[in-house]
Amino acid sequence: MHVRDLIDKIGFRHIAGEKALEKKITGLYCCDLLSWVMSHAKHGDAWITVQTHINVVAIASLLDLSCIIIPEDAEIDGASIRKAEEEDIAILSTPLNSFEIFKLLYEHGIK
Amino acid sequence: MNKDNGINGIKLQYEIIKDDFSRAGEASSNIKKVLRQLGIEDSIIRRTAIVTYEAEMNIVIHSEGGRIKVLINPDQVQIIAEDYGPGIENIELAMQEGYSTAPNRVRELGFGAGMGLPNMKRCSDEFEIQSEKGAATIVTMIIYIKG
């Protein structure tokens, strides 16, 4: 599954990062404690977080995560969107909560 | 950033500003890009990215500002994070997972999990921290590139 599929097949909203839509999603990770994410998230993971400030973009970039998914329509900082465009990190948004996102991605083959 | 391509390897240096969350992570991102250009193995890049990011955030959150110096040679990456104080009163406590002195405004942003220094130690092959109350903190980390 690729990041683009989250938009085309599941209907997530595309917030930032155009080329990054071609990245492959190899796992899914959910956490809002940044140091915890730093030590546990894996290369290729899609990351669900309600933290939407600029530092989440740095973390996604440093760890080579496939994308950032903002659940439950949490508001996204404008500076983060600009930074994500610069760094080409995909940010997606959805009204779904973390559990519903996990369920959907599992059904689409992220196992 | 100062970049010095000396005989002993590549030296990088970044000034880190206190409370500057908007630029936080930039030094780590730049270091990662240099390592990638040098063709360093992914696992080494990942560990270096983790320790430099945690060091950078520690300087932003806890110090009066400081700098991160990186020396890359064919055998190892050495990272030195040093600040202008105020120093750590109890290093043993600071090294414990989950212990944090971060204020609430920073915790609300997802920082202050008390994982920074333990993450830095875990990802380094050699780790040394020097500090005392009222003095600078200097963290020196080495990540081996070859065995």
Render pLDDT for B17-72 as a digit per residue (tens, 0 to 9): 999 998 889 999 999 999 999 999 999 999 999 999 999 999 999 999 999 999 99
B115: number of Cβ within 10 Å:
23
pLDDT of residue B5: 59
Mean pLDDT by 10 residues, chain A (111 residues): 97 97 98 94 97 95 97 96 96 98 96 87
Q: Which of B117, B31, B65, B106 is nearest to A53 (CA)?
A: B106
Render pLDDT for B72-111 as a digit per residue (tens, 0 to 9): 999 999 999 999 999 999 999 999 999 999 999 999 999 9
Domains of chain A: 3-107 (3.40.1390.20)
Asked if the model's pLDDT at residue B1 lies above 60, the reply is no
Q: Cα–Cα distance between A66 and A44 in angstroms, integer?
A: 5
- A39/B116 CB distance under 8 A: no
pLDDT of residue B3: 61
Give me the torsion for CA of B73, B76, B82, B87, rounded to 10°. Answer: -170
Look up the CATH superfamily of B2-144.
Histidine kinase-like ATPase, C-terminal domain (3.30.565.10)
| Closest-approach residue (CA) in chain B for A79 | B22
Q: Are the beta carbons of A64 and A41 closer than 8 angstroms?
A: no
Average confidence score pLDDT of chain B: 93
ipTM exceeding cut-off 0.95 for this assembly: no
Asked if the model's pLDDT at residue B4 lies above 80, the reply is no
pTM assigned to the model: 0.92
A69: number of Cβ within 10 Å:
26
User: Minimal Cα–Cα distance from B50 to chain A, Å?
Assistant: 6
What confidence tier does B146 reach under pLDDT thresholds 50, 70, 90? confident
Instruction: Answer whether B22 touches A (CB < 8 Å).
Output: yes
Instruction: Answer whether A35 touches B (CB < 8 Å).
Output: yes
Peptide bond into B86 cis (omega under 30): yes
Q: Cα–Cα distance between A56 and A47 in angstroms, integer?
A: 10
Q: Which of A6, A18, A9, A78 is nearest to A48 (CA)?
A: A6
Q: Which of B29, B42, B109 sits opposite A62 (nearest CB)?
A: B29
- B110/A34 CB distance under 8 A: yes
Which residue in A37, A39, A61, A80 has the most chain B C-beta atoms within 10 A of its own C-beta, making it the best mutation to test that interface?
A39
pLDDT of residue A111: 87
